[in-house]
Amino acid sequence: MIDILFAAGPDDWADYETPLRAALDGHGLSYRLSRDLPPEGVDYIVYAPDSQVTDFTPYTGLKAVLSLWAGVERISPNTTLRVPLARMVDDEGLTRGMVEYVTGHVLRHHLGMDAHIVNPGHDWAPVVPPLATERPVSVLGLGILGRACAEALAGLGFPVTGWSRRAKSVDGITCQFGPDGLVKALKSAEILVLLLPDTPATQNLLDAETLALLPRGAAIVNPGRGPLIDDAALIAALDAGQIGHATLDVFRTEPLPAGHPFWAHPRVTVTPHIAAATRTGSAARVIAENIRRGEADEPLLYLVDRSAGY
């Protein structure tokens, strides 16, 4: 019998219980799934960072923690966690949602759609945008989500540069890595997409110095993590016209406080962390597959490198 503790909020339990049981049953596993199990008997914890579980010491038989979220910055540093940690990065619903969000907002900025949607003063201003082939886009972060978005944008004809901290190769994408590669990716980006994790190495990656490397009037789309951008530096760059617009889905504090200057800035679009929601059905299948793998002594999917933070 496999004991699986569901350590997330009550709303999550209501959403996940049925699809999780269906996915586990599909693998023929014998299990107990509950929000309340004796700690010493728990084999796996299905986890969300808003869980009440913060001390993993009592879970003496724990084999792995399986996160329902892609971001693990709130659990990865936990020193009481001494077992493998897997994150949710290949839920097909989450990936598809991110691709749709990114391509939608990139096309919005590329086509200049805001001017036509708002129609200020009923102006007839026939500004024809360039074709996608003439609009360079850079994607910072070439994990599963970043790669999927970069490939989708390249499929629309955009010349796409992808940047990662380590060397990667993606067909159809100009791949850069390391500090020199970052400079090249920024200098070419008329539209910049941020899909990096939140780690000490990526915090404030976009500051006054790096924002100045972008072509004047560049647009930024950030569905990655709020701390990737220095807020004050971004506002200054927007005010100066160095950055033409910023579409932001993630923030240092969420919900974004009512008095934050992003709300009222005419060159900022705020979306309420909706770019890539985990879909319960597909996420449940990922969790169940990892439990099956754990019981079969097979490598778990999407393990977190605790030293790197993602």
Residue type at position 79? T
C-beta of residue 43 within 8 angstroms of C-beta of residue 4: yes
pTM given for the model: 0.88
Per-residue pLDDT of the chain (310 residues; tens, 9 = 90+): 999 999 998 899 999 999 999 999 999 999 999 999 999 999 999 999 889 899 999 999 999 999 999 888 889 999 999 999 999 986 678 899 999 999 999 999 999 998 877 666 667 778 889 999 999 999 999 999 999 999 999 999 999 999 999 999 999 999 999 999 999 999 999 999 999 999 999 999 999 999 999 999 999 999 999 999 999 999 999 999 999 999 999 999 999 999 999 999 999 999 999 998 888 999 999 999 999 999 999 999 999 998 887 8
- Catalytic site residue 273? yes
At residue 94, the pLDDT reads 87
Tokens of 137: 């886009």
Our measurement of the distance from residue 13's CA atom to the centroid of its chain's CA atoms, rounded to an integer in Å, reads 23
Domains, the chain, with CATH or none: 2-91+278-295 (3.40.50.720), 92-270 (3.40.50.720)
Quote the CA–CA distance of 18 and 13 in Å, as a whole number: 9
Active-site option among 225, 245, 267, 285: 225
Task: Examine the residue annotation and report whether 225 is marked as an active-site residue of this protein.
Answer: yes
| Residue in 260, 273, 292, 306 annotated catalytic | 273
